[in-house]
Amino acid sequence: MISGSIVALVTPMFEDGSLDWGSLDNLLDFHLANGTNAIVAVGTTGESATLDPSEHCKVIEHVVKKIAGRIPVIAGTGANSTTEAIELTQAAKNLGADACLLVSPYYNKPTQEGLYLHHRKIAESVEIDQILYNVPGRTAVDMANETVVRLAQVPNITGIKDATGDISRGARLIQQLAGQIPVYSGDDATAYKLILVGAKGNISVTANILPKMMSDLCTFAAAGNEAEAKAINDLLAKLNERLFIESNPIPVKYALNKMGLMSNGIRLPLTYLSETFHSLIDEALQERNLI
């Protein structure tokens, strides 16, 4: 089972929008050296929505080759077209990914039955571990706990990323699933609380900046050490909040560039961090001695 701190990795780019492979290698080395337990390549934070299919696959391939089996690689392969999601998931399997992360179909707002049939079809079409991803704040559709429980019966569906930030709901989901598939937090600010009640890790934006601290937080929470987990969470609180001051991954890409870890590039319709917020991110980075 994949567990612990799972970074939702950014996709580094130059200012002209081209992909920065050298910075991607540097970031992967950074995570390998600092306790990250798994990598999500080309998820939301990796700007999957702005990469074309060829680039999407090239990033997955590059990450798989660089990681070389040292930790699991999860490929973001969700789409609002079932056919497209199947094609991306098959490509990720062919490229050697260990699992795929499939966001709920966005924009077209399927019913709960549509969500069930969408994910079941992908799972039946491609033999690779698949993690559901419920993030209603970005997709405009919310996968009900009952739908997740139905999908947990489907072979190849091996987890869910719960990015609702609702701890009581997440706790109920963990109880309803009764260990059939693991639940992962998708909300940095509340992740340790969800792990304390049975989640198996955190798929994290903040881990891009402080991988060791997020890894330690997950370790303490998984061991039931609430005091130590909360102490780390308190130290991360300002970053957890400010990395979402504009749409993710705008702030985290600004922060990584400010830290000297990658070049300064992002693709439209995403924009560079508004100057109004530079000082707020800088302050949070300075507080943790990152700049």
Active site residues: 133, 161
Q: Exposed/middle/buried for 15, CB within 10 Å: 0-12, 13-18, 19+?
A: exposed
Q: Return d(Cα 166, Cα 154) in angstroms, integer.
A: 25
Provide the phi-psi class of 156: left if phi over 0, else alpha when psi is between -120 and 50, else beta.
Answer: left
Give Cβ neighbours of residue 231 (< 8 Å, ≥ 6 apart).
none
Q: How far apart are CA 41 and CA 45, in angstroms?
A: 9
Phi, psi of 246 (to 5 degrees): -130, 175
Burial of 68 (0-12, 13-18, 19+ CB in 10 A): exposed
d(CA 135, CA 260) in angstroms, rounded, equals 30
